[in-house]
Structures are given as structure tokens and as C-alpha cells.
């Protein structure tokens, strides 16, 4: 039934993880993560009663917008190139650029050669950035019943996004859960693809050039990657 319920396939991580601890003849422990997943399904059930699922939310079509995203130890960023999306507000159909710099508590907990005991991996940050870019698209354009294609150079993030779940009860499973809720609420069809790192220079610049202020960043993108319409900077 997850095929007919957009976002539902992102809700199974913590339940799968709970099943791995079951021994023959014993009960399954319903931990906090399992209860959260069950609450999510209850929310979807109530939501379906008020707003039935449209067929265009189920079938991926040619993308109405394409996005390139990346995350680094400094922050995350991406660029949306809208094709057939109606803009919200006065953004027009110009490419949407956004970025966010990670707070210090996140960078201090990042796993690196100098900090092998950190609790946050680069792939965790890539996945978090992946959720943020979808929210930027939903706030900038009318994404209802439209297919959105995103490209990343991180294979772990791509795998999680395509599969929708992981056998774990951690930050990855919680982020995937939010992916599902976000998809159901904003009614788009997500597609994910890979782009080689050397070809992902727009997203690299968006996630790393924090020494530039907003005006300087827009100037950099307009001169380095000129477009028919000037880049617009979205806030996160």
C-alpha cells in the first residue's frame, strides 16, 4: 500500500529496526521511534479522509524542476532550475539559490580525521540538506502534483533517498521520516539521481563560499554561471 500512499515508504525505518531485536517467542518492543511511526500513519489516515490522493502524486513524470545540492562541513546549499512550476510570491521562474551554514555544535560533532569520535557524518549532513532543498522548492513554487528531480554526488544520501528507509533508529531514520511527511503535505513526486562531484560545482559553491556575503554570492553565480534570468537567493 505504500505505493499508493505518498510518503509512507519513509515511515518504516524504526519499525524495521525494532524487528531486528525480536527473538523467537518474545514480543517486539515498541520504542519511541515505533510510536512515532505509528503516529505518522495515523496522521496520514486522517489526512486522506480530508484530502484524497491524486493520481499525479503517484506517477513520476518528466521533471518540472531540476536541482543540484551538496553539503560540506561548513554548510549546505543548492540551486533549483524550475521548468514548469508556478512561482509563489514574486520569485518568477528564475533559478533559486539557497545556502545554510551549520551551527557550531554540529560542526564540532562532525566525524573527521581530527575528530574520529564525532556523532555526525557528512552523509547525515547531505541528507539533512536534501530535506532543506525540497522545502525551499515547496516555499518558492507550487509543487503540487509535479515531479521534482534532485541530483547529489553523495552515494549514501542517494541510496537513502531512493530506498526511503534504513534499519536503524537514528538521525537518518528521523530525517527520512520527515521526507515522507513533507512529500505528503506538499503533494510532489520526488526523483533522485547521481551527479559526479567534479560536475556539481554549483552546489559545491553554494555549500562552501561562506566568506562571501549574499550580494557577493549572487554576483559570483551570475558571472560564473550566467543564466537568462538572474539567480534569486532564498532564505532557509
Question: Mean pLDDT by 10-residue block, N- to C-terminus, for the chain (236 residues)?
Answer: 87 88 77 90 90 91 94 95 83 88 94 91 93 94 94 94 89 92 95 95 96 97 94 86
From 185, 184, 176, 174, select the one nearest 32 (Cα to Cα). Answer: 174
Domain count for the chain = 1
Scan for cell 520569485, then name that residue: 91
Burial category of 59 from C-beta neighbours within 10 Å (exposed 0-12, middle 13-18, buried 19 and up) = exposed
Range of the domain at 196: 2-234
pLDDT of residue 90: 66
Burial category of 46 from C-beta neighbours within 10 Å (exposed 0-12, middle 13-18, buried 19 and up) = exposed
Measured CA distances, 66 to 15, 53, 62, 221 (Å): 32, 24, 10, 17
Burial 102-132 (b: 16+ CB within 10 A, else e): beeebbeebbeeeeeeeebbbbbbbbbbbeb
pTM of the model: 0.89
pLDDT of residue 62: 93
From 46, 49, 57, 39, select the one nearest 2 (Cα to Cα). Answer: 57
pLDDT of residue 85: 87
pLDDT of residue 200: 96
Burial 77-97 (b: 16+ CB within 10 A, else e): bbbbbbeebeeeeeeebbbbb
Number of H helices, E strands in the chain: 8, 8
CB 160 within 8 A of CB 207: no
Question: Which region, left, alpha or beta, applies to residue 7 given φ > 0 means left and ψ of -120 to 50 means alpha?
Answer: left
Q: What is the CATH number of the domain that holds 10?
A: 3.30.420.10
Amino acid at each position: 500500500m505504500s505505493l499508493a500512499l505518498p510518503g509512507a515508504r519513509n515511515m518504516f525505518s524504526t519499525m524495521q529496526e525494532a524487528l531486528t531485536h525480536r527473538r523467537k517467542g518474545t514480543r517486539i518492543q515498541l520504542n519511541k521511534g515505533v510510536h512515532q511511526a505509528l503516529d505518522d500513519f495515523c496522521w496520514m489516515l486522517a489526512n486522506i479522509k480530508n484530502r484524497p490522493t491524486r493520481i499525479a502524486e503517484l506517477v513520476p513524470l518528466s521533471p518540472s524542476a531540476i536541482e543540484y545540492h551538496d553539503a560540506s562541513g561548513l554548510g549546505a546549499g543548492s540551486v533549483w532550475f524550475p521548468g514548469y512550476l508556478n512561482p509563489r510570491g514574486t520569485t518568477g521562474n528564475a533559478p533559486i539559490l539557497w545556502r545554510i551554514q551549520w551551527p557550531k555544535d554540529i560542526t564540532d560533532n562532525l566525524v573527521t580525521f581530527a575528530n574520529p569520535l564525532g556523532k555526525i557524518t557528512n552523509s547525515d549532513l547531505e541528507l539533512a540538506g536534501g530535506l532543506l532543498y525540497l522545502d525551499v522548492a515547496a516555499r518558492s513554487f507550487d509543487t503540487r502534483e509535479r515531479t521534482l528531480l534532485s541530483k547529489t554526488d553523495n552515494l549514501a544520501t542517494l541510496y537513502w533517498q531512493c530506498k526511503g528507509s534504513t534499519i536503524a533508529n537514528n538521525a537518518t531514520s528521523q530525517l527520512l521520516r520527515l521526507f515522507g511527511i513533507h512529500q505528503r503535505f506538499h503533494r510532489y513526486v520526488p526523483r533522485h539521481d547521481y551527479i559526479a562531484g567534479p560536475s556539481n560545482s554549483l552546489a559545491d559553491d553554494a555549500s562552501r563560499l561562506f566568506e562571501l556575503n549574499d550580494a557577493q554570492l549572487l554576483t559570483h553565480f551570475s558571472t560564473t554561471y550566467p543564466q537568462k534570468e538572474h539567480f534569486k537567493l532564498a532564505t532557509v
